[in-house]
Amino acid sequence: MKKTAFITGASAGIGKALAEVFAQNGFNLVLTARREDRLRELQKSIQDKFDVKVYPLPADLHNVEAPHELFDSIQSKGLQIDALVNNAGYSLPGSFHNTAWKDQAEFIQVLITSVAQFCHLFLPGMIKSGYGRIINVSSLSGILPGSAGFTLYSGAKSFVNQLSQTLFLETEGTGVNVTAICPGYTYTEFHDVNGMRESVNRLPSYMWMDAATVANQGFEAVMKGVPLYVNGATNRFFALLPKLLPNKRVLRMVDKSKADVGQL
């Protein structure tokens, strides 16, 4: 019997690429994001290419009820989720004290709370069946210090890294693998949504990866049981900086480069 993967933020970028990779590897898919038209287009293109079933379930993860409603809706279809991909995300530009709390609370809901809640909702079923794969899409920003103007982003991604590594330990021996993947700059809609496209276009090409490569590496990492995977040699080099240099120096370096080109 085919396994089923549930992927958040599947209407674009890394989530869409991960949907393709899971389908290519024989998983049926439950896909969520706000843009239903995009999910339906992806449903059609994947079902045309691969012998799998795709269920689009549009939802807005700003809504605190959304994770439970999605879980209930999946249960009511009689689907067992064997793989969970917490990928939906964005960054929120602007200084902390000038950004409305409503926007920051919604950001925390999508980037932190829903990630933890989906793990909490789907893990018991995975442990019971003796098989589970969880990819939490984090960022190189979760390893590097934060930068002014994107106040909550690095903290949210650090949380995702720590959550994933702790769940990796807690699920050892159960058949469940938990992996945080940490991409750096990746060609997606991310920098269009946060308004940084023009400045990030100035970055050299070696800083960039494509979403399909990030997705393939993420799939391999979770299948192998790697708890934390940094995508690409350039990003792995940057991830070493906090271990090699004094904190204040790294803080200034990261802040300057992100102020110049934008969040990753």
Ligand X SMILES: NC(=O)c1ccc[n+]([C@@H]2O[C@H](COP(=O)([O-])OP(=O)(O)OC[C@H]3O[C@@H](n4cnc5c(N)ncnc54)[C@H](OP(=O)(O)O)[C@@H]3O)[C@@H](O)[C@H]2O)c1
Contact 176, 133 (CB under 8 A): yes
Place of tokens 């999910």: 39
Contact 211, 232 (CB under 8 A): no
Look up 206 and say whether it is catalytic: no
Comparing C-alpha atoms, which of 109, 92, 195 is closest to residue 151?
Answer: 92
The 3-state DSSP class for residue 150 equals: strand
Q: Considering the rule CB under 6 A, would residue 238 count as an interface residue with ligand X?
A: no
Question: What is the nearest approach in angstroms of ligand X to the Cβ of residue 56?
Answer: 11
Stretch that binds ligand X, among 9-17, 97-105, 127-135, 242-250 (CB under 6 A): 9-17
Contacts for 57 with CB less than 8 Å, ≥ 6 apart? 30, 31, 32, 39, 70, 73, 74
Q: Considering the rule CB under 6 A, would residue 9 count as an interface residue with ligand X?
A: yes
**22, 27, 190, 219: which one binds ligand X (CB under 6 A):** 190
Residue numbers 191-230 binding ligand X by CB under 6 A: 193
Residue numbers 36-65 binding ligand X by CB under 6 A: 38, 60-62
**13, 67, 132, 262: which one binds ligand X (CB under 6 A):** 13
Question: What is the nearest approach in angstroms of ligand X to the Cβ of residue 163?
Answer: 14
260 CB-contact burial (10 Å; exposed 0-12 / middle 13-18 / buried 19+): exposed
- The number of residues that bind ligand X (CB under 6 A) is 29
Q: Considering the rule CB under 6 A, would residue 189 count as an interface residue with ligand X?
A: yes
**139, 147, 161, 177: which one binds ligand X (CB under 6 A):** 139
CB-nearer residue toward ligand X: 13 or 227: 13
The 3-state DSSP class for residue 82 equals: coil
Which residue of the set 55, 153, 185, 206 is catalytic?
153
What is the rounded CA–CA span in Å between residue 22 and residue 30?
A: 11
Q: 87-116 in b/e burial notation, b at 16+ Cβ within 10 A?
A: bbbebbeeeeeebeeeeeebbbbbbbbbbb
Site string for ligand X, 77-116 (x = CB under 6 A): ----------xxxx-------------------x------
**132, 183, 218, 232: which one binds ligand X (CB under 6 A):** 183
* Closest residue to ligand X: CB criterion: 13
What is the rounded CA–CA span in Å between residue 10 and residue 35?
A: 9
- Where along the sequence are the contacts to ligand X (CB under 6 A)? 9-15, 33-35, 38, 60-62, 87-90, 110, 137, 139, 183, 185-186, 188-190, 193, 264
Residues designated as active site: 153
